[in-house]
Amino acid sequence: MRLDPMDIQSIKNRFGIIGNTVALNHALNVAAQVANTDLTVLIVGESGVGKEAFSQIIHALSARKHNAFIAVNCGAIPEGTIDSELFGHEKGAFTGAVDSRKGYFETVNGGTIFLDEIGEMPLGTQARLLRMLETGEFIRVGSSKVQKTDVRVIAATNKDLLEYTQKGKFREDLYYRLSTVPIRVPSLRDRKDDIPLLFRKFAVDFAERYKTAPVQLDDDARQLLMNYTFPGNIRELKNIAEQISVLSVDKHINSTDLRRFLPEHPNNRLPMVVNNSNGTHTSEFGNERELLYKLFFDMKKDVTELKKMFVEILQNPGEAAAAAAYTKESLLRDYPVPVELSPAPAIIHNQPAVLLPHDDIHEHEEVEESLNIMDKEKELILKALKKHKGKRKDAASDLGISERTLYRKLKEYDIND
């Protein structure tokens, strides 16, 4: 059953919801219909779209509206204390538990609890939550007494929980228990026609707060604003409206003025993320082994250049010292791994330089060498351990890897240091 458009507009007026897009109206319609039940609701949407506002609408239109409502951000509570926060604890249950304490589910008995960022909840806490949803029972941390509570749960997430279940980060049974009625809140870029309306509302509010005239956008600025992607959604639009209201001397804003307030997306200098054929994600380098392979490949090219340079030094010994200094400085700069340099050929004063006959200096031929990455990796590890006399911590630091990774590779290559 769909609500009458007048009823939807009444809800918008009551809770300050602005917009007329079909997706927004559908989300409000579902929220209003499910409000007067005790069904668990999962609100899905990007960060900044206003998911908490929907939880408040559901509570305010329910039979629990006169009882307590509490919003809990699961991602903001440390993993070691979230069980205590939600379910309470007994005195002495852990270090610092000097008194018994009620948890949110006990405090909000008869009311509604909004669990925001539910995807960040630890797996152990998820098991406790599932039992509470199915039986209404919970146990305080450090207690063996089963207690009952009557709480309506509304959860929200900006993650793909179904994908999380496949990766083992979220319980599948809890996912289906929470998503009895899913509500998808549209992102701002899917509500382009609502952007000017929201901006006007924010501009008027900030004008009243700061005792100034409200800013107004011309047609070009309005179109520019509608075409912006708004990765931060309504929260970002509100911030932009506040900046313009405070910093603009001229309250009539054109596209040039507006462009100064729209943030530029920074270039991502991290390894590019791509999709494999199996649908999984990997970085440009993939893993440390591919990165090492790239390093060895570059080193192989530089060694070839060094061989050519050595031939030139033999032909012109006067440049030997400068070439050796340059070579050492270049290698130390380019490679974090230790590189042993042989000293430059010594020039003995008052003695003629011993050179190979010109006919004996043949054009450099590249020597084939093993490119097996495992052999090279093992060789580097052995050199690092020898250099640091078996001290794993120093060797790992020199290799640019963690001590734990080094320990794993010692076992992998059967190296007894």
Please report the pLDDT score of residue 283 as a whole number.
41
Higher pLDDT, 198 or 408: 198
Separation of alpha carbons 14 and 31, rounded Å: 14
Checking if the pLDDT of 398 tops 70, the result is yes
Report field, pTM of the whole predicted structure over 0.75: no
Number of residues assigned to the chain: 417
Checking if the pLDDT of 304 tops 50, the result is yes
Which residues neighbour 247 within 8 Å (Cβ) at sequence distance 6 or greater? 261
Higher pLDDT, 109 or 264: 109
370-417 folds as: Arc Repressor Mutant, subunit A (1.10.10)
Q: Which of 27-31, 46-50, 311-315 has the lowest mean pLDDT?
A: 311-315
Report the alpha-carbon angle 124-174-120, nearest 5: 55
How many percent of the chain have pLDDT more than 70? 73
CA 249 to chain centre: 37
Please report the pLDDT score of residue 314 as a whole number.
66
Q: Which of 9-23, 27-41, 392-406 has the lowest mean pLDDT?
A: 392-406
In one-letter notation, the amino acid at residue 189 is: R
Q: What is the mean pLDDT of residues 226-231?
A: 94
Pairing of strands 152-157, 69-73: unpaired
Instruction: Report residue 98's pLDDT band, with 50, 70 and 90 as the boundaries.
Output: confident
Separation of alpha carbons 393 and 404, rounded Å: 9
Separation of alpha carbons 330 and 337, rounded Å: 13
Please report the pLDDT score of residue 381 as a whole number.
84
The verdict on domain 5-186 having CATH code 3.40.50.300 is yes
Please report the pLDDT score of residue 320 as a whole number.
53
Q: Sign of the CA dihedral 167, 171, 174, 176?
A: positive
Instruction: Report residue 347's pLDDT band, with 50, 70 and 90 as the boundaries.
Output: very low
Kindly list the domain boundaries of the chain, sorted by start residue: 5-186, 189-259, 287-368, 370-417
Strand partners, 253: 217
Q: Which of 315-324, 341-350, 361-370 has the lowest mean pLDDT?
A: 341-350
DSSP states of 211-256: TSPPPEE-HHHHHHHHHS--TTHHHHHHHHHHHHHHH-SSSEE-HH
Q: Which of 72-86, 180-194, 302-316 has the lowest mean pLDDT?
A: 302-316
> 189-259 maps to which CATH number?
1.10.8.60
Checking if the pLDDT of 278 tops 80, the result is no
CA 336 to chain centre: 28
Q: Give the chain's mean pLDDT.
A: 81
